[in-house]
A and B are shown apart, each in its own frame.
Chain A
Amino acid sequence: ETGVTQTPRHLVMGMTNKKSLKCEQHLGHNAMYWYKQSAKKPLELMFVYNFKEQTENNSVPSRFSPECPNSSHLFLHLHTLQPEDSALYLCASSQELTGQGYEQYFGPGTRLTVT
């Protein structure tokens, strides 16, 4: 595997279900991100992990719970979601070095539908 991978690619869940999204980066980066992309809206940053420590929680509801066990893996645990949470969830990674480029590399995303 190369780059950033995400599983599953598609997920349909009921509002009472609990599920998890998984992201893995094979780039040796030290920062990972969760984004949400809804139709006709810009990418919304949800969480940032830098060196496994959460550095930013962008006012995300508690029904979304991130976990970063190491610098290569990132999870997003989902429970009691609402239909408006249906969106494309993207994971990204980057190498944080001040003064260097700030490119983030994205996975293919998980298309989530909440019924």
Chain B
Amino acid sequence: DQQVKQNSPSLSVQEGRISILNCDYTNSMFDYFLWYKKYPAEGPTFLISISSIKDKNEDGRFTVFLNKSAKHLSLHIVPSQPGDSAVYFCAAHDGRGSTLGRLYFGRGTQLTVWP
């Protein structure tokens, strides 16, 4: 049973426009959420995170929004650039002590930014 879901396997956006990547989760004990970016032949790279006590976190072109009541988070990239083309993974941390450090990952969304 997958606790973190990214229902869109791919997204294509024109350069300069906004990219919105979505993620849904089922576990109400998740206390921290992260987005990772992955290029081919490389490991995932941490991008941005948000605590469950917040609803928005912004870092440059990247903003993550959290809607706890809907168990939904999204990553906004604006403006999108061709170098943003990568697979984006949503991850969530289970706050219970026995699983300290465990992250649950979605399947990823392939973002393609075209000129």
* Chain A interfacial positions (CB closer than 8 Å to B): 4, 6, 31, 33, 40-43, 45, 48, 50, 55-56, 90, 92, 94, 96, 98, 101-109
Contacts and interface: CB of A to CB of B under 8 A. Distances in A.
B2 interface: yes
B107 interface: yes
A107 B101 CA distance: 17
Q: How large is the interface on B (under 10, 10 to 19, 20 to 34, 35 or more residues)?
A: 20 to 34
Contacts of B100: 50, 55, 96, 98
B49 interface: yes
Interface of B: 2, 4, 32, 34, 36, 41-46, 49, 89, 93, 97, 99-108
A103 B103 CA distance: 9
Given A42-B2, A102-B93, A107-B43, A50 B107 contact: no
Given A42-B106, A102-B103, 12 more contacts: A33-B101, A42-B108, A43-B89, A45-B102, A48-B101, A50-B100, A50-B101, A55-B101, A92-B43, A103-B34, A104-B101, A109-B43
Contacts of A33: 101
Q: Which 7 A-B pairs have the closest CB atoms?
A: A106-B43, A43-B105, A102-B93, A42-B105, A103-B46, A42-B107, A106-B44
